[in-house]
Amino acid sequence: MSAPPVRPYSGARVLLGVTGGIASYKAAWLARLLTKAGASVDVVMTPAATEFVGAITFEALTGRAVHTGLFHPGRALDHIKLAREATAIVIAPATADFIARAAAGQASDLLSACLLAATCPVLLVPAMNDHMWAHAQTQRNAAHLGELGYSVLQPDEGMLAAGEGSGPGRMPEPESIFAHVGRLLERPGALAGKRVLVTAGPTQEAVDPVRFISNHSSGKMGVAVAAAAWRRGAAVDLIAGPLSVAAPNGVTVHAVESTEDMAAAVQRLLPDSDVLVMAAAPADFRPAEPARSKIKKTNAPLTLTLAPTPDILQTTKQARRPGAVIVGFALETDDAVASGRKKLAAKDLDMIVVNDATEAGAGFGVDTNRVTLLSRTGGDEQLPLLPKTEVADAILDRVEKLIGGR
Ligand code: CTP
């Protein structure tokens, strides 16, 4: 299991509104994810939601009192207090009825009253029958909420309540909503609104139609950078070789196989990117003449002739936008920092992330990394052994400073 992301959830006060839809059972898992990541979660349920899930479930998961009504003696001002203390509000699931009431500015229950009293960012996660979602009135209500400044997630397509078939209306998975809440909680920085291009994973070079040469890269480091950049408000393109981990939420994935494919994708996307983080481990060699059909054991050549692949950072230099921040990685086994410094200059980078593959807990496949950050402008920084998610944040903190200085 990868380490749970701490930032930006730790210290956050999240008001989780649950309305009365069948997807409300998934809100329990969301409450758990947020609590585990360090947020204090105040659950507010509409009366209809309590028909689907018991308040006690949320109380046990969050370790905090659950709020269910406007009219409790001694707690008349709950809606003001809850709204004032929240750093973010997420309403999951948001039914068609709740969306209609919110769009009309009603305050007939505790949750809608909290929404009116709140000044923090709000995320609504619609979930309902596909026809109810497609209805012009619901669409109008959702669009109006967007105009009011709320973030409204698009429902997923997939199986709806039992016997109801499938279509757009299904609540996105709790992990995805959790990631969106992280984006909501993030303080706006220099990456907000920027386009970030990240490469991740290995590439594969065909020997024949069923065999390839590659390396041990899992893609974890690049995926962590892409996830953190998206959470910071960037639009993220992830050029991914065959990954051993799932691509993160919110990013646009461009799947590639060979180094040449990856080079072509970087060449295409780089002119529109404000930042390139080249975290992939592209294969440096390919079989010179891949066989068209499967090589048989009986007539296999015992020597494979290799040809070099393009160096992506070198060959795409002219596609860089003026002022773009370019970050490379260097995976070394000998004299890591000195070799990293040479690559920083040779590949014309703003920063290089050097790691020594021979160190325990660093390099391919593991969830942690120990890196040294070298910059063109100096100020080297050796980081301790950290989860890759935290290494990603350290890299992006530096990238934000570089963007800010341009
Ligand atoms: N890189 C690249 N194109 C390649 C190989 C690597 O753009 N064909 C990028 C990597 O993504 C990384 C940086 O160059 O950001 C350094 O990669 P690394 O494998 O450490 O260095 P190489 O240039 O391949 O040099 P060597 O293998 O000789 O150490």
List pLDDT tens digits, range 271-308: 999 999 999 999 999 999 999 999 998 877 789 999 99
pLDDT at 3 over 70: no
Q: Tell me: the pLDDT tens digits for 19-31?
A: 999 999 999 999 9
CB atoms inside a 10 Å sphere around CB 228? 29
Could you tell which of 343, 350, 371 is best to mutate to test the pocket of ligand 1, judged by most ligand atoms within 8 Å of the CB? 343
Distance of CA 311 to the CA centre of its chain: 28
Q: Tell me: the pLDDT tens digits for 299-316?
A: 777 899 999 999 999 999
pLDDT at 2 over 60: no
Could you tell which of 312, 320, 342 is best to mutate to test the pocket of ligand 1, judged by most ligand atoms within 8 Å of the CB? 312
CB atoms inside a 10 Å sphere around CB 79? 23
Minimum mean pLDDT range among 123-127, 166-170, 205-209, 384-388: 166-170
Cα separation, 346 vs 349, in Å, equals: 8
User: In the block, which residue shows the tokens 């325990």?
Assistant: 360
Residues 19, 91: contact at Cβ < 8 Å?
A: yes
Q: Tell me: the pLDDT tens digits for 366-381?
A: 889 999 999 998 888 9
Q: Which residue has the higher pLDDT, 70 or 50?
A: 50
Active-site residue identified among 129, 141, 215, 299: 215
Average pLDDT, the chain: 93
pLDDT at 160 over 90: no
| pLDDT band at residue 364 using 50, 70 and 90 as cut-offs | confident
Is residue 280 lining ligand 1, measured as CB closer than 6 Å? yes
DSSP type of residue 168: E
* Ligand 1 centroid distance, CA of 259 (Å): 11
Cα separation, 258 vs 308, in Å, equals: 12
Residue 4 pLDDT: 52
Structural domains of the chain ordered from first start: 13-185 (3.40.50.1950), 195-290+304-404 (3.40.50.10300)
Residue 1 pLDDT: 43
What would the mean pLDDT of 221-229 be, rounded to a whole number? 97
Residue 69 pLDDT: 84
- If you count them, how many residues does the chain have? 406
Residue 391's φ and ψ, nearest 5 degrees, are -60, -40
Cα separation, 145 vs 238, in Å, equals: 30
* Ligand 1 centroid distance, CA of 281 (Å): 7
For the question of residue 215 being annotated catalytic, the response is yes
Tokens found for residue 378:
């100096």
Q: Tell me: the pLDDT tens digits for 304-347?
A: 999 999 999 999 999 999 999 999 999 888 899 999 999 999 99
User: In the block, which residue shows the tokens 């809440």?
Assistant: 181
* Ligand 1 centroid distance, CA of 232 (Å): 27
Tokens found for residue 224:
């962590």
Cα separation, 23 vs 122, in Å, equals: 19
Q: Which residues contact 250 (CB under 8 A, 6 or more apart)?
A: 179, 180, 183, 230, 236
* Ligand 1 centroid distance, CA of 266 (Å): 14
* Axis-axis angle for helices 96-103, 136-147 (nearest 10): 50
Residue 6 pLDDT: 63
Residue 57 pLDDT: 97
Q: Tell me: the pLDDT tens digits for 172-223?
A: 999 999 999 999 999 889 999 999 999 999 999 999 999 999 999 999 999 9
Atom of ligand 1 nearest to the CA of 259: 8
Q: pTM higher than 0.85, yes or no?
A: yes
Could you tell which of 267, 313, 347 is best to mutate to test the pocket of ligand 1, judged by most ligand atoms within 8 Å of the CB? 313
